[in-house]
Amino acid sequence: MSNTWFIKDKLFTKYLGSDEIQTIIRTLASRINHDMQDKVPVFIVVLNGAFIFASDLIKKITVDCEVAFVRLSSYKGTESTGEVKEIMGLDIPLKGRTVIVIEDIIDTGLTLDGFLQKLWLMEPADVKVAACLMKPDAFKMRFPVDYLCFRIPNDFVVGYGLDYDGFGRNSSDLYKIHTP
Ligand code: XMP
Ligand code: MG
């Protein structure tokens, strides 16, 4: 893909290339394989945005594992409250299991914080968080992000599974909004 991308009314410029992303994911997968060598983790992929990151990461996991997918529905008015109203699609019992939640991006952290609270009610042995991207300047929560690929500034990004108004997910590279 080229260095600039028009999606709807906005211009984006290339920010992280596919090779760089894949290199970091390999390192992250090695860490997870090492940490999970005597466990059988359940990966929970938060749809939609995490589908590409999760696919690339999970292909590099060599320990026995299960994979589940959730969509979160949260109350969001003009502000994200992070209150997760419903968890859809979680069909694996988590009691006593080691869970690794896979997210595309952690911004304020409100959405994931609400989800983590609900997960703990299902009595897992442990819950870890794996994220491709995090915006530390926007983060308001306290939960640890155990496995992280990239810390990025507070700019809106698309590509590599992330969307602008539904578009832009279909790129192996990550783009950020162009601010002239
Ligand atoms: P919070 O603030 O709850 O938000 O951590 C996390 C969710 O917000 C979306 N998000 C983005 N989506 N580009 C996107 O395409 C971004 O720069 C961005 N920042 C936040 C995303 O759905 C994430 O799960
Ligand atoms: Mg999104």
pLDDT given for residue 78 in this prediction: 46
Q: Which helix (H) or strand (E) holds 6?
A: strand 4-7
Q: Which of 47, 110, 162 to mutate to test the pocket of ligand 1 (most atoms within 8 A of CB)?
A: 162
Q: How confident is the model at residue 142 (pLDDT cuts 50, 70, 90)?
A: very high
Interval 114-130 mean pLDDT: 96
State the chain's mean pLDDT as an integer.
Answer: 93
Task: Note the ligand closest to the C-alpha atom of 145.
Answer: 1
Interval 109-136 mean pLDDT: 96
Task: Note the ligand closest to the C-alpha atom of 72.
Answer: 1
pLDDT given for residue 18 in this prediction: 98
pLDDT in tens, 21-43: 999 999 999 999 999 999 999 99
At 22, the amino acid letter reads Q
pTM: 0.94
Q: Among this protein's residues, is 155 annotated catalytic?
A: no
Q: Give CA–CA dist 31/34, Å, rounded.
A: 5
- CB neighbours of 106 closer than 8 A, spacing ≥ 6? 112, 129, 131, 133, 134, 135, 139, 145
